[in-house]
Structure formats: structure tokens, C-alpha cells
Structure 1
Amino acid sequence: MIKKITFPLLGLLGGFGVGIWTEFWIKGFIHDLFTFFTDNHIRFHGKIFRSFFEWHYLAIFALIGLFCYHAFRVCTLPEKIKYAGLAVSIFFLALALICYADSYVKIIECTACDDGVRTLEYSDIRYERIIFTSLALSLLPIGIKRIRSQRAND
């Protein structure tokens, strides 16, 4: 009984910890992707206000940690390594593609840009939407594996 409570709770807290640890790094990476994909046609100005963690972001990672615990519970070690590597690869690929599309939409919708250069505030980017979509796409293979294993057991 204690294992049924302890391990999911550890997965939840582990995801929460990963969310705290990576929040500022991923946001900076998204800024770099926006700048890179538009050939410096997007610039950021203003003050970066980072005193509190955003609860949406932390809740997403906590739920992802819980999901990964339940999904990986039925996998063998080689499968865990394979699916974890696949999830990380898909996450960064999806993150790059979403940032690419979103950055060009922001350039296209700008009507008063100087020489095609758009200046954005740091809060103009929807970080949670980008990160949640990337995480959801990266966890699809694990979710499909979990559903198939449940159907095979039933």
C-alpha cells in the first residue's frame, strides 16, 4: 500500500522539481530560437521579471512526471531508455518547429516594423502553450505504448 502512494508521489514531486530546475533555461532557449529562426528580425526588450515561478508551468511538469511514472512502470529498462530518448528528441524537435512557426507569424503580422525587425516584450511569447504542446507531442509514443500494453493485459 505504501508503494502505491509513495512512488506516484515521487513521480509528481520529481516532475515538479524538473519544472523548477528548467523553467528559466527553457524560456531563454525559446528566446534564442525566436531570434535564430528569424535571422535577428525579432528582438526582445524590457526587463525580464523572474521572481516567481509560474504555476501553470510547474503543474504541467508535475503531471508529466506522474504520467511518466505510470507509463514507464510497465516497460523494461531498454524500452525505458529508448522511449526516454525518443521523448527528449521529439520534445526538442517540436519545440524548434513551434518556435519557427510562431516567430514567422509574429514577423508577418507586424505592420509597423522598422526594416522588418520586430521588437517584442519578454511577456509577448506564450511559453506555457509552446512547452505544453512540445511535451504533449513528445509523450505520445509513451502514451501509445501504455494504451497498447493495457489492451493486451485486458
Structure 2
Amino acid sequence: MLKQQIQDAMKAAMKAGEKDKLGVIRLIMAAIKQREVDERIELDDAQVLAVLDKMVKQRRDSISQYESAGREDLAEVERFEVGIIQAYLPTPLTEAEIAQMVESAVSETGAAAMSDMGKVMGVLRPQIQGRADMGAVSALVKQRLGS
């Protein structure tokens, strides 16, 4: 399980004395634990991926805000955290793979208009979660359904 893999990495970082990496892994574990406590469930791999994906998105937003404010030092910290978090995400999909998945989801659901976007995204989300920016996928689906 992914959660166990992250816990093992935390132990390894402790033993190796990698304080920066350990701090990021502890943030990951805290986010996972918070969601488990809030929802009173044990997260499976798909749900852990959703937590990781959200953390990456938050850090990317922070990076852009820090860069626009001229705080490169803080942006660099966020980039480091993104790198650590992404190590636990599956390999990202290419543009061509995403486009092909969108096409198959549109044909599978029989979507023909923007009102069918929810159906298409419902099919795509489990396949793409953690492997692509959902905002970009959503834009691609809108473009496909709008034409």
C-alpha cells in the first residue's frame, strides 16, 4: 500500500538524518491522518493519491504566488516539497495519453454536450487522479464537448 510506502520512507529519512525530506513526509502523513480522522475511515491507495494530488496543487499555487511577489526563497521551498510529494505519485500521463483517455470516456458515456461533462469527468477521475492536472483535463473535456 502507498501509505505503508510513505511510512517506510519516513523511517528511512529519520535514520539517514534527512531533516528537510522528513519534514515533508511528516506533512504528507499528517494530511492523510487528518482525512482519516475527519471521515473515520482508513484511506485506500486511490484516496491517498487524491490527498497527494491536492497537496501538489496547493504547492503549485503557492509557488506562483511567491514568484509574483518576488519571494524566490519561499518558492524554492515549495518546489522542494513538490518534488518529494511527486515521488509517491504514479508517472504522469503524456498529453497524447490524456487526449486518448478523454476521447474514450466521451464515447463510453455517449456525451454530446457540456451538460454531460460530469459523466465524462466521473469516468476519467479514477483513471487520471494523481497522474495529471485535473484542471487541465477538465479544460480538455470542455474543449472536446464544446466542439
TM-score by length of 2: 0.30
Structure with more of its chain in helix, by fraction: 2
Larger RCO (CA within 8 A; separation ≥ 6): 1
Question: Radius of gyration: which is bigger?
Answer: 1
Structure with more of its chain in strand, by fraction: 1
TM-score by length of 1: 0.29
